[in-house]
Chains A and B, each alone.
Chain A
Amino acid sequence: MAKTVLIVEDNELNMKLFRDLLEAHGYQTSGTSNGYEALDLVRKLRPDLILMDIQLPQVSGLEVTRWIKDDPELRSIPVVAVTAFAMKGDEERIREGGCEAYLSKPISVGKFIETVRRFIG
């Protein structure tokens, strides 16, 4: 059965890019641009991997990650941050926030897929 990836991303074009890329590699995708909705979806769908944008409307991706990591049932789902915050210190701060991996935008397609594979094969 195909693995499911939840994409949390508020930019429509980037959302489409990630969906198309993942689907082309045989993953099932689900997406939202809203952090609160993301948490509901994680609970409902139990995805195998979460791609998390950090700058989101209303609530930041870091906050959503913290909620997920604070929940014993959801903690094991890996969260990969995919963000345009690529200044010095951003990666450390985001990893400290609980994300298992960090990808800066603009992504390299090869590295992106490789990272996804590392977590869910």
Chain B
Amino acid sequence: MAVSNIISDCLDALLHPSARYDALASARHRAFIAPRLLGSLAAFAAFPIYLAVRGAPAALEVAAFAWLIAPILLSYFLSRTGRYESAHVLSSLALAGLIMVVTITTGGIESFAAVWLVVVPLEAALSASRRVVAFASALALSCAIALIAIGHFDMLPPSMANAGSNVVLMAFGVTSATLYAAGLAFGAESLARISVALLYDEEDRYRLLARNMSDVISRHSRNGAVQFISPAVETLLGTTASRLSGHGLFDRVHVADRPAFLTALSDAGRGEARSVEFRVRRDLPRDERGRSAAVDFIWLEMRCRPLETANGKTAADETEVVAVMRDVTDRKNQEQALELARAEAGRADAAKSRFLATMSHELRTPLNAIIGFSEMIVQEDALMIGAARRKEYAQLINDSGQHLLSVVNGILDMSKMESGNFEITPEPFAPRPALLNCCNLLALKARDNDIDLVTRAPEDLPQIHGDPRAFRQIVLNLVSNAIKFSERGGTVTVSAAVDGQRLTLRVSDTGVGISEDDLKRLGDPFFQAGKTYQRRHEGTGLGLSIVKSLVGLHGGEINVQSRIDQGTTVTVTLPLASPQQGPNNIATLNPPSPPAGQSQDYQVKKSA
């Protein structure tokens, strides 16, 4: 074992670098070098014995032995240059040369050595090169023909072998040729075994790759039909690869993405590499009853390019496409989330700008009267303003100042709610008197606008636990809104009722109504439905947003139902019992998520 290891190591050292890392090439090189070196060395070892038996050698014998150096030179040539085919050609030439010399001097075609010509092409077979085999065969054949021709024209030198030893020599020639051929056959068999083993190794490696790679590799015909798809697709789509072949994959592609999918494949078929992203239906694990769950799509990214055929060119008409697919659902989801966040940020930014613009407008309007009238009083002489006028202007300045104060207070309330500093003080109180009181306050305004204000509150309305100041503000804001947004001759109905453990307050008008788009934004600070420059109604747009926060603070709900030109109904429900203490006690513009089962809280419902 140790000796063979040493020989093996020596052989490895002899291999040309180009063959060292290619298992098959190194096996071939070894198969070339090993027998030649060993044969030559054995021959040299046998030379002294031969001399001892035969006595002084003839010149021919010396030449024949000297010829045995040739394999060593050939091994050296291969070891240096790595040119396997050339080494085989040289080897064939050397062998054929030796055979020719021996044959010609021992009787031509009838010589014992002539049978060795058969070995020449056999040896070349190990080269695994058709050209080398053809060359060696031609060489052997021409050698045989030359021998026959030489014999025929009687040009042979006198045979050096004596007739008596002919039989022995013939036996030696046939036996040695057979043995060598047998050795070659074993070498060939061993090389074949090695190459099969290597093939298996390679296949194992690819199988390992295919099984453990999350990317899917597929082969498509030009029309997109799947001809092969790697098993990685099974974990991706939850179905077997065989069910995806043909049009099985296409059938799962999202209808909206099918054109892009097919275009990419057909472009790739024309020779252009393409990348496309599309959605594919995935089979989810089935439930107990064997039905699959809801339809689920995942995003795949597919890079496809024309399939190169074995000879390195793409066949012109039968172009196939090879594609690599990868699950990009997570990235897609992130992109979508990012897009949503960006849109949300944009909306928030726009809302902020709108808020500032409206705030500026609402502050400037009363300031205009204040500054204008006071300037007029300053210039009373130039403008010939009398005492009565002066007093009137002072009153107007005061009115405007009061209005300005209410705007500022509204803004302050809003910012308190926004920063979470607005607190309510719950206590038991009777809602009916509070409601009637508010309606009385607004009756004058309703009459001025020629609007019928109807209040429906049952006498037996129970006490509720809440902040009476906040309750009054809710009612005042809602009812004054309803009056403000009603046409002359309209009706505003305020009703209160108890429904289980909740008080329902409903304010309906026959006014302008609110469009669906505006309904969504209703309650945003300063937002008033309609176009910016086309506001038809006074007000800061703060009322409903304050109501929303106050209702949320009481653990109640607010719903707005409206149709353009048909009126609006705002429904507020407040719990009769005390609102929970804790974080709910602080109002914010974005109230915390309502408890489960009350998901409709704060949500503005669209009209039916």
Contact = CB atoms under 8 A, between A and B. Distances in A.
Interface of A: 11, 13-14, 16-17, 20-21, 24, 54-63, 84-87, 104-109
A17 B369 contact: yes
Contact of A86 (B364, B366, B375, B535): B364
A11 B371 CA distance: 15
Given A55-B534, A58-B534, A107-B372, A16 B396 contact: yes
Nearest to B393: A20
Q: For chain A, what secondary structure do more than half of its interface residues adopt (helix, strand, loop), or is it mixed?
A: loop
A24 B364 contact: no
A85 B462 CA distance: 48
A59 B373 CA distance: 28
Pairs of residues from A and B, 3 with the lowest C-beta to C-beta distance, nearest first = A57-B536, A60-B533, A84-B364
B190 interface: no
23 contacts: A11-B365, A14-B365, A14-B369, A17-B373, A17-B376, A17-B396, A55-B534, A56-B534, A56-B536, A63-B534, A84-B360, A84-B364, A84-B368, A85-B357, A85-B360, A87-B360, A104-B364, A105-B365, A106-B370, A106-B371, A107-B371, A107-B372, A108-B375
Interface string B357-393: 1001110111111111101100100011100010000
Contacts of B362: 84
Contacts of B383: 21, 24
B533 A17 contact: no
A62 B361 CA distance: 16
Q: For chain B, what secondary structure do more than half of its interface residues adopt (helix, strand, loop), or is it mixed?
A: helix
Contact of B368 (A85, A87, A107): A107
Interface string B410-445: 000000000000000000000000000000000000
B372 A106 contact: yes
B487 to A, nearest CB: 11
B367 A105 contact: yes
A38 to B, nearest CB: 14
Given A13-B400, A21-B372, A54 B360 contact: no
Contact of B356 (A14, A20, A54, A87): A87
Contacts of B356: 87
A109 to B, nearest CB: 4
A109 B375 contact: yes
Contacts of B375: 108-109
Chain A CB within 10 A, most for which of B362, B375, B384, B533: B533
Contacts of A20: 376, 389
A21 B368 CA distance: 13
B289 to A, nearest CB: 61
B286 interface: no
Given A55-B533, A55-B535, A87-B357, 19 more contacts: A11-B365, A13-B366, A13-B400, A14-B369, A14-B372, A16-B396, A17-B372, A21-B383, A24-B376, A24-B385, A56-B534, A57-B537, A60-B534, A84-B364, A84-B365, A85-B357, A86-B364, A106-B364, A108-B371
